[in-house]
Structure 1
Amino acid sequence: MSAGMLPVLAVMLPVLGMVLALPLGARGAERLTLALAPLGLAVAVAIAVVVYGGSAPIRHELGHWAPPLGLAFRVDGLSAAMMVTAAVVIGATALFARGQFGTAAGEAETRRAFAFWPLLLAIWGATNLALAANDLFTFYVALELLTFAAMPMVALDGKRETLEAALRYLMFALLGSVLYLLGVALMYGAAGTLDVVVLASRAGGTYPVLLAAALMTAGLLAKTALLPLHLWLPPAHAGAPAAASAVLSALVVKGSFVILLRLWFGVLPGIPGPMAAQILAGLGAAAILLGSVAALAQERLKLLVAYSTVAQIGYLFLMFPLIASMPGTETAAKAWTGGVVQAVAHAFAKAAMFLTVGLMAARLGHDRIRDIAGAGRALPVPMITFGLAGLTLMGVPPSGGFAAKWLLLAAAIEAGQWWWALVILCGGLLTGGYVYRVLSVGLRAGEATAPTRSADGQGIALVLAIVSVLLGFLPLGAFGLVQIGRLDLGP
């Protein structure tokens, strides 16, 4: 098999698994998902090895028709790194979810279990499609698949509040889809193609192109849950199963973010202008500060972690003005690497944190922060996991979050935009505040010693948290993978 088929295989494995899982029932779907997880990880690692070893993106023309007449997959270093991240998070989530959605031999199958496994595979396939696609309409297809797979996972328990949260999520997602699709139509009318590489040479700074870029950006921000378009995310997390929250925070919002990077630095390099990039980063800074303050005020663990996601997403947008103001420089390379490492480290840390909170809620029977005193004694591994994931979110060395935030901070100083460095430092302090709040209560002596369920899966969450920390030990040369194939440096 040629290397060009690897991206196709990365997309088709989970999609075919989703289709095959439907007639197999809950038990068969579970086994199929667990069998596909290591295969998908092997494919993702192979893609990363090929991209890194060849120092060039993998490109495959579907049906051997070249754009603009045909469609092509293009996997660069950013896509390869995110595909490996997605494979690990999906595999870990699948193992963890066996405790809640598994069906033992002789046990009656449930609708929730039957729905969960195909939806998990659908999210995986849609994420890989968003990472491998190279045209604006296929991005749209990937976004819709992500939405219509993630939304039902939010409402799996069927309660009224979770159904309301899922409908709110759907309304924001559909708004984002309409705006994005309008932008795609305008872009096609202006340039006559939707292929990212071809558009990079055809799209100019005309009014239709700028309007299309604004519409698509607004739509993608709604799906990424950047403040003030974040209102759907905390309620969606509040009642969703732990496994659903893990993939929603770690992967689903990252799919639309990667597409936004493709739009700004692939289709329109330099066209939106420094001021537009400053506005995006300003929204990111507001998300960091206000999201962290909101997390500090929460009384429930799941809502605290959900607002933490709102805050951590903000860091991803600090890279935009640093790249736009100094394109092609070492400073821009630092900002790009810092943003991507932040996305990867956040994915592992937040997946670990949501799984841990789910464990604690199941064990204690609630997730009220004020009532978790004694959890450190009753649940030592989950408390350690929460602390390790918190180190990454805070950016404490030597975690992956520290590497990401240090690169962004250094790039901000080098670019003369010191105000973003202040935001990064303040955000780290606020993150430390809400992480310390949970740990200080949990490690206090108390009565949280009577379990209502077992704490199965705590080792899986711990491994994810450890990975988020170990990312900080990688030499910066290893992060060179994410620089390969950057379209703002040329096709």
Structure 2
Amino acid sequence: MTQLAAALVPITSAGGYLLVLAVIMPVCAVLAMLALNPRYSAPVAAVTLAAGLVVSIAIVVKLFRNGTALVYVVGGWQPPLGLTLRADGLSATMLAMTAVVITAAGLFAQAQYGLVLDKRHGRAPTTFWILLMATWSALNVVFLGEDLFNLYVALELLTFAAVPLVCLDGRAATVSAALRYLMFALLGSLLYLLGTALIYGRFGTLDLRTLSGISDGGPAVSAALALMIAGLLAKAALFPLHLWLPPAHAGAPAAASAVLSALVIKAPVFLILRLVLDVAPPEAAQFAGQILAIMGASSILFCSVMALKQARLKLMIAYSTVAQIGYLFIVFPLAAGDGELPAWGTIAWTGGALQLVSHALAKAAMFLAAGAIAEAFGHDRIAELGGFARALPMSAAAFGLAGLSLMGIPPSGGFIAKCLLLTAAVVNGHPWLAATILAGGLLAASYVFRVIDRALATPATPIQIRTAIPRRMEMTALALAIAAVLLGFVPLQPFAFLQIGRADAAAMVAP
């Protein structure tokens, strides 16, 4: 371990300061909002959203030009005493995706809170902006962190920023949903922390780059990984640990639901991916991948059926979230790789990453469109929304385009992702996963077309709009849905950008 640690000494790279900006800027925005008059919260958030989007794009461009990971050694202290921030291709993709979705949610929220002029600078909008910025910073730490305990702190910050977003309206139902979410999240944190303690007791370090050299850690490592992954599964709401998600996401404000569904539950999924591929010994990784794939397939089938049964639009979308998350877990056995081809060199790796991004864009678009619909008509009961496309054509178009991605219909990003996963399942001899992918697409088509049918129906009585919706609210959802479709032009092959920062890691741990 000493020679391995010496070989993995990180050095701050040119442009590494961008990683610090990605984490610090939202925190500075929170401090400014707390210090200034509430009327300045929205302008501060707007400036931060624009700056954060620029920084995330700069990180992607820097990686693309250099072809190597960006690293920043915090305070100049080397691990294990110090901390590092590191962005590889997947991390940079997550940062950019997060910036895009949070910017869209912020634009939607500004328009929504502006519907009632005397409340646009009230307690709820101010609290929303503070929590949104805190959520953004915590997400960026999760995607950039390299220390298991530092990642635990980031997960806790994310939990305590995300949970209040569920109950901003103060209704009893949303408070109950938020408390259930909190209980699952705290249980997950406890399991993750216990696993972290076992890892530290066994190896004396929590640095992921150092731990990536583990070849066999014995029962202690297996137990630690099992605890940590179980805790993260509770936070990710994978079936059967999904009970908290539907009421929480369905009851939250639309902008908050978009962030929770598209981004917050992706953070534990990202960490599970790192634990299985970067830390777990090969035998343990293979076993864990099979278990996760079974849970993912169950999630796809069961929660798709539950989505089909829902009477409320947002509740249907929430169950769809749990179902679509399942696709990210069937990636593990498909991207297992072999001695010659690493996991990140497989088409399943690209397919999983595309599914992650396309789902985030499509699901955020769906929740924002559903929010506009609920705001306009005063409810989101599907049976009573006949003909809503006539009143809100862009919201109906956003929902339909996002649905294309969920169903896996060309030329959407979801089609490319599911096509790559389906190909990997057939080639690698996993017919049951191939059947699950096809069945999930058919079930998604069932609940998406159910809403589209109501949107295009001719109601017996003209549908009444309670509140006029600003066009920019609808355009925000539509832009995200179009982005999810445009992802379908990604080439059907392992995407080189996603491999940046991965091959060098393999070389460094090679004997």
Give how far 1:239 is off: 1.4
Residues 250 and 348 in structure 1, CA contact (< 8 A), matched pair in contact too: yes
2:119, 2:242 → 1: CA distance? 40
Confirm or deny that 1:230 pairs with 2:242: yes
1:108, 1:119 → 2: CA distance? 16
Confirm or deny that 1:339 pairs with 2:355: no
Range 165-174 or range 133-142, more displaced: 133-142
Range 176-185 or range 48-57, more displaced: 48-57
CA-based RMSD of the aligned residues comes to: 1.8
Residues 73 and 134 in structure 1, CA contact (< 8 A), matched pair in contact too: yes
Which residue pairs with 2:196 in the alignment?
184
Once the two structures are superposed, the pairs formed by residues 66-81 of structure 1 within 5 Å of their partners are 66-81=78-93
Work out the number of aligned pairs and report it: 491
2:347, 2:494 → 1: CA distance? 13
The 3 A distance-change label for structure 1 pair 213 and 478 is closer
Give how far 1:274 is off: 2.3
Aligned to 1:248, which of 254, 260, 275?
260
Deviations 1:180-212 (A, max 9, x none): 000000000011100000011246231111100
2:507, 2:160 → 1: CA distance? 34
Confirm or deny that 1:472 pairs with 2:488: yes
Which residue pairs with 2:292 in the alignment?
280
1:202, 1:284 → 2: CA distance? 27
Which residue pairs with 1:449 in the alignment?
463
Aligned to 1:460, which of 472, 476, 494?
476
Aligned to 1:396, which of 409, 419, 427?
409
1:25, 1:425 → 2: CA distance? 53
Percent identical pairs in the alignment equals: 52
Aligned to 1:370, which of 371, 383, 392?
383
Which residue pairs with 1:118 in the alignment?
130
Residues 205 and 271 in structure 1, CA contact (< 8 A), matched pair in contact too: no
Deviations 1:255-296 (A, max 9, x none): 111111111111225241423211100000000000100000
TM-score (norm 1): 0.96
Aligned to 1:146, which of 158, 177, 186?
158
The 3 A distance-change label for structure 1 pair 17 and 296 is same
Which letter does structure 2 place at the counterpart of 1:239? G
Which residue pairs with 2:5 in the alignment?
none
Once the two structures are superposed, the pairs formed by residues 24-423 of structure 1 within 5 Å of their partners are 24-102=36-114, 109-202=121-214, 204-324=216-336, 326=338, 329=341, 333-423=346-436
Which residue pairs with 2:7 in the alignment?
none
Which letter does structure 1 place at the counterpart of 2:307? A
Which residue pairs with 2:8 in the alignment?
none
The 3 A distance-change label for structure 1 pair 21 and 278 is same
Residues 414 and 488 in structure 2, CA contact (< 8 A), matched pair in contact too: yes
TM-score (norm 2): 0.93
Where 2:72 maps in the other structure, the secondary structure is strand
Residues 25 and 114 in structure 1, CA contact (< 8 A), matched pair in contact too: no
Range 461-470 or range 314-323, more displaced: 314-323
Q: 5+ residue gaps in structure 1?
A: none
Which letter does structure 2 place at the counterpart of 1:319? V
Residues 108 and 476 in structure 2, CA contact (< 8 A), matched pair in contact too: yes
Confirm or deny that 1:481 pairs with 2:497: yes
Deviations 1:435-478 (A, max 9, x none): 00111112101145321112220001000000000011133579
Which letter does structure 2 place at the counterpart of 1:410? T
Residues 176 and 218 in structure 1, CA contact (< 8 A), matched pair in contact too: yes
Residues 352 and 462 in structure 1, CA contact (< 8 A), matched pair in contact too: yes
Give how far 1:100 is off: 2.9
Give how far 1:107 is off: 6.1
1:265, 1:396 → 2: CA distance? 30
Confirm or deny that 1:16 pairs with 2:28: yes
1:108, 1:367 → 2: CA distance? 23
The 3 A distance-change label for structure 1 pair 233 and 107 is closer
Where 1:47 maps in the other structure, the secondary structure is helix
The 3 A distance-change label for structure 1 pair 166 and 328 is farther
Which letter does structure 2 place at the counterpart of 1:433? S
Residues 378 and 448 in structure 1, CA contact (< 8 A), matched pair in contact too: no
Confirm or deny that 1:427 pairs with 2:427: no
Residues 410 and 416 in structure 2, CA contact (< 8 A), matched pair in contact too: yes
1:308, 1:188 → 2: CA distance? 38
Residues 27 and 102 in structure 1, CA contact (< 8 A), matched pair in contact too: no
Give how far 1:116 is off: 0.4
The 3 A distance-change label for structure 1 pair 105 and 280 is closer
The 3 A distance-change label for structure 1 pair 236 and 210 is same
Residues 165 and 232 in structure 1, CA contact (< 8 A), matched pair in contact too: yes
Give how far 1:483 is off: 1.6
Give how far 1:109 is off: 3.1
Give how far 1:99 is off: 2.5
1:191, 1:271 → 2: CA distance? 19
Q: 5+ residue gaps in structure 2?
A: 1-12
Which letter does structure 1 place at the counterpart of 2:465? P
Residues 113 and 120 in structure 2, CA contact (< 8 A), matched pair in contact too: no
2:183, 2:417 → 1: CA distance? 33
Which letter does structure 2 place at the counterpart of 1:389? A
The 3 A distance-change label for structure 1 pair 105 and 422 is closer
Which letter does structure 2 place at the counterpart of 1:420? L
